[in-house]
Structure formats: structure tokens, C-alpha cells
Amino acid sequence: MVPRKFEYFAPRSVRDATALLKKYGSDAKVLSGGMSLLPVMKLRLGSPAYIVDINRIPGMEYIKSQAGNVLIGARTRHHAIESSKLIKDKAFLLSECAATIGDPQIRNMGTMGGSLSHCDPSGDWGAAVIALRGSLRIKGPSKERTMKIDDFLVDTFTSALRPTELLIEISIPIPPPGSGGAYVKLERRTGDFATVAVGAQVGIDRSGACTYAGIGLTALGSKNLRAAKAEAALLGKPLTARVIEEAAMAASEDAQPSSDPLRGSADYKREMAKVYTRRGLQLAVSRAKGGVR
């Protein structure tokens, strides 16, 4: 299949891009990596009349540390995040997440901002950013705003972005010493979308008590979900096997899976939510205590 006809624009600045989005509104779509948009267009599940390609806008691909945060430009490719030393040192969960996305071709072309904006409940970045309580910087024609990831993810293929806005940057608070994270994923085959995936981030104080808990769920609802009950089950407690099991059970209750013929029943996915939350937390705790990645 080939896409229907469309008009193509390649602006050289964020200002020009948002001006085009303002002019054409919901008839326009932004092209970043194209790993989600182009298949949709080829299958004619979506046929935008106007494409705004942001790949020629300078300064949208970067990874840097600033004021206690890791800042990631929205057009930064998955592979760059996977291989970044700064990410591995400061927010390892993101590197591990990136390594699970698609195949090398997809990781070389796909972008973090594009994936988040697409808001696929089977996409991986939402859960990873939820676990780290990240925030997003968004630019419109005249205003800029910052939004927490939980507010940005609205529903299936629906983010809080307005038709005139671009996602510009992802900000991740750098976890303090005594922290560890993991992204674990069940997939039918390597490179497939998740059947179930879990992002887990914990912080532990000198007494062994949990000071931070972040758990994001992939493919377990109409969007990436925060496992709030599971997080609450960990905070202030020593992260023993029993406490982790209680949190894993709570995560299965937080999950909102649906049955599908390719990846299994809702009951199966709920059980896998428990299994993979347990695995993710065990790995995160081990890393927080200085274990091998």
C-alpha cells in the first residue's frame, strides 16, 4: 500500500513548525522518526493532508544533565538513548527500555518524542518515564508549557498535545544514590510490541527502607499506566521478598488489560503483570544495592 496524496513541509525552526500546525490544524501531522506515522499512512488507517517534517530543525536531538535533571531532546533517537553514557550512569532504566524497542533499524530512526506523542498503550517510553516521574516541555505558536507525564498520556493514541503544539523536551529527575531501575518486557518475539512490560524504579535509604517507588505499566490498559497501589505498597517498607510480592499483586490490580487474539486473555496479562512487576522490582532493588546490571 502507498499513502494517499499529501502536502509536505520541512520547516527549519520550531516557530515555523508550530505556525504550520496552527494554519492546518488537525489536518496536519508531525513527522519525527516516522516509525508510527508512516505505517499508519501506508495502510491508510490515517491520511493527513499535510505532513510537517521536523527533522531539519536544529537543536532537537540532545542528551544532557542540567540542574539535577537529564534533559532529552524530543527528536533524540532510541539508539542514542540506549548507548548514552550519561543515561546509563544517571537513569539506567531509560537505556534498558530503549534496547527493547523494535529492531536496530527502528531504534536508529525512531524518536523518544515521536513515540510519546503517538501515545500507543503498547509503546515503551510512557511506562519508563512514568517510573521516573518525568515531565515534558511543550511548545505552541505563542506559549510554552510543562506537563507531568501522567497528565500528558490521555488515552489510546491520544496525548494532551494540542493540534498546534510540539513536544520539545523530556526532563527526567536524576535519581539519588541508593536508587535502581529496570525495564522488563514480555514479547512474542524479539522486536515485537509488548504483551506486558514494566518499568520499575526504587530508592532505598541506609536502613533498607524504600524512599522512592515508581512503576509504569505497558500494554496493560488504554494507555501506559502508573501502578499507584503497587508504589504505595513499597514506600517506607524494607524491600523484602514478601513486600515485593505484595507490590506485584497490587500491580496486577492496577492493570486494566483487555483480551486479544495475538497476545492472550486479560486474565493471562494480569498474571503476567504480577510476574513482570516482581521481576522488575527484584532487578531494581539489586541495582539500588549495587548489584550487577
The two domains 63-173 and 180-288 share their CATH topology (first three levels equal) = no
Q: Work out the percent of the chain whose per-residue pLDDT is above 70.
A: 99
- Write down the domain spans for the chain: 7-50, 63-173, 180-288
Kindly tell me the sign of the dihedral angle through the C-alpha atoms of 188, 3, 74, 218: negative
Rounded to 5 degrees, what angle do the CA atoms 174, 177, 181 make? Answer: 65
User: 227: part of which helix (H) or strand (E)?
Assistant: none
Distant-in-sequence, close-in-space partners of 73: CB < 8 Å, separation ≥ 6: 59, 60, 61, 62, 63, 113, 168, 169
Express each pLDDT in 1-41 by its tens digit: 788 899 999 999 999 999 999 999 999 999 999 988 988 89
Rounded to 5 degrees, what angle do the CA atoms 108, 110, 116 make? Answer: 145
What is the phi-psi region of residue 121: left when phi exceeds 0, alpha when psi lies from -120 to 50, beta otherwise?
alpha
pLDDT, residue 291, reads 66
Query: 63-173 is classed in which CATH architecture?
Result: 2-Layer Sandwich (3.30)
Q: What is the pTM of this model?
A: 0.96
Q: Work out the percent of the chain whose per-residue pLDDT is above 90.
A: 92
Cα separation of 91 and 173, whole Å?
Answer: 9
Query: 7-50 is classed in which CATH architecture?
Result: 2-Layer Sandwich (3.30)
Cα separation of 118 and 115, whole Å?
Answer: 5
CATH of 180-288, one of 3.30.2350.10, 3.55.40.20, 3.40.50.300, 3.30.390.50: 3.30.390.50
Q: For residue 19, which of 164, 158, 121 has the smallest C-alpha distance?
A: 164
Express each pLDDT in 52-92 by its tens digit: 999 999 999 999 999 999 999 999 999 999 999 999 999 99
Express each pLDDT in 107-139 by its tens digit: 999 999 999 999 999 999 999 999 999 999 999
Q: For residue 117, which of 76, 153, 81, 72 has the smallest C-alpha distance?
A: 153
